Amino acid sequence: MNKYWIRTSMVFLILSILAACGSDDTNLTLVTDEREDLVREFVTDYKETMVDAYNTGNFNQLEPFLITNNSFYHSLRRYVSDSHSEGNTKDLLDFQVHQVFEDPEGDLYVDAIERVEVIEHGQANEVERDVRFELTKGGSDSFRIVTIRHVKS
């Protein structure tokens, strides 16, 4: 019985922390100025480059899009390396940016839908998912990806 309460308390604590760390959509405003086009182009270029990096194992081409040495960077580096070494490939079937938002701190959030075909161990699988890119400003008015999250529809 004691283990049940400890486990329940830990789950509640973790969920509370995750909820506190999540972005609050009520604080986001829609971006409709010239930055919207720049951000759309940036994330589309990233997605195309990411698929190429996945297929070739050349992670270095993704570095201009990322904040180096954060957890997302290291996870993506490992994902690209492992997938390439296993002989997996990916084709980008469709990628559409729906909306761009900004929070009070100036960080940008990009909602998009992606459809890819992943071939793992000779098996093709089509995957479609809604994603949210979190961007921040990089040097010389460029953007950098902080993270990308799957958005449950």
Q: What's the CATH code of the domain at 80?
A: 3.10.450.240
Asked if the structure places residue 15 within a domain, the reply is: no
Asked if the structure places residue 7 within a domain, the reply is: no
pLDDT, one tens digit per residue, over 65-102 is: 999 989 999 999 999 999 999 999 999 999 999 999 99
Q: How many domains does the chain have?
A: 1
Asked if the structure places residue 63 within a domain, the reply is: yes
Give the start-end residues of each E strand in 18-122.
29-30, 89-102, 108-120
Q: What are phi and psi of 76, to 5 degrees?
A: -65, -40
Query: Mean pLDDT across the stretch 16-20?
Result: 44
What pTM does this model have?
0.81
Q: What is the pLDDT of residue 120?
A: 93
